[in-house]
Amino acid sequence: MTSHDIAFVATGVLALVGGLLAITTRQVVHAALWLIVALLGVAGSVLVLGAELVSLVLVLVYVGAVVVLVLFALMVTRAPIGPDRQHAVGWVRRLAAGGAGAAVTALLLVVLVPLAGDWPGRQVRVAPIDSSAVASDLFGTWVWPFEAVSVLLLVALVAALAVSRVGAPAAYRRKP
Amino acid sequence: MIHALLPIALATGLVGLGVAGVLMRRNAILVLVGVELILSGALVLLVASGSLGGARYSVNSVLPLFVITIAAAETVVALAVIVAAFRARGRIDLDDPAPVPEPVPDPGQHSTNRWIVDTEPGQHSTNRWIVDTEPGQQSGVPTAGERP
């Protein structure tokens, strides 16, 4: 049990508790806020694993952009401030969904645990990856996938704008 | 050094929580919260398995960046679709039945005032007339039984 193990367990427990509260809370805004906690836990785990650039991008993109976008969408769709009684689900559905999640977890554990090998098992080597090496790799070997991803982002932006204008009030639409 | 079981346990736990969240929620936006949890579980497994073999290639940091970017693009489009559906239907409950589409009048062949008239009221007859009224003719609703 090294100090890396302890740090990873701490951030992992933070991520799992945040995720559990994000999917079980009855208040929609709290769900988005608990998602921030879960994603910060994931970012901490990735940081402990040594991928510091991925961790920073995770915080910037997920916590900074995606969760804010989710909060904006909740505001646009007039989500209630208190408990969301309009979309309440019964305990049968909660139990069934929890059972399905547990089954997926069990299946993945059965598949993935043999990757760790027999006890004492394999170790993940933790050595910080040099960001300049990542940059030269990103703009050298992976430059065409990088450009394709930027085109994909542009297409997603334009498509989101076009789709969200469907059904808009007539004052916002262009005359045909 | 981190034991390899810990990232695997975290990734599987996050994916299981995400699947449970996707199945549990009726609010369409909160389904995306579950999707984000599944994607972050996959991200943890990707980063961990990249350094599991002992080699520390910097490409282990490049592919997770692509995953994060594509996940962000997917979320943007999904939220736009949800907002458009909210505008069209007024609610984003995923348990709602699909709405019955209203017939769209085609402006090319008929005028916009279009009525479907049963020629024999009281019973569902097969004699139905589609009556086009002129735009200026306001009292153009034919009474039943009157052949236009």
Domain positions in chain B: 5-89, 103-148
* B43 touches A at CB < 8 Å: yes
Rounded CA gap, B18 and B13, in Å? 9
Q: Please say whether the beta carbons of B13 and A105 come within 8 A.
A: yes
The amino acid sitting at B147 is R
Closest residue in A to B77 (Cα–Cα): A160
CA distance B91 to chain A (A): 8
Bridge partners for A123 per DSSP: B3
User: In 3D, which of A10, A48, A62 has the Cα closest to residue B40?
Assistant: A62
pLDDT, residue B108, reads 59
Interface mutation vs chain A, best among B26, B32, B40, B91, most A CBs within 10 Å: B40
pLDDT digits (tens, 9 = 90+) for A32-73: 999 999 999 999 999 998 888 899 999 999 988 899 999 999
* B144 touches A at CB < 8 Å: no
Which chain B residues are closer than 8 Å to A92 by Cβ? none
Inspect the interface and report whether the beta carbons of A48 and B19 lie closer than 8 Å: no
Query: Rounded mean pLDDT of B49-56?
Result: 69
Inspect the interface and report whether the beta carbons of B44 and A45 lie closer than 8 Å: yes
pLDDT, residue B15, reads 96
Q: Please state the domain extents for chain A.
A: 3-129, 130-176
> Which class does domain A3-129 fall in?
mainly alpha
A7 token code pair: 């740090």
Q: Please say whether the beta carbons of B26 and A87 come within 8 A.
A: yes
Inspect the interface and report whether the beta carbons of A65 and B72 lie closer than 8 Å: yes
Cα-based distances in Å from B64 to A157, B60, B61, B93: 21, 7, 6, 33
ipTM given for this complex: 0.89
In B25-143, which ranges are continuous DSSP H helix? 28-50, 59-89
Report whether CATH 1.10.287.3510 matches the domain B5-89: yes
Given pLDDT bands bounded at 50, 70 and 90, which one contains residue A16? Answer: very high
pLDDT, residue A136, reads 87
Q: What is the dihedral of CA A94, B43, A40, A111, to 10 degrees?
A: 50
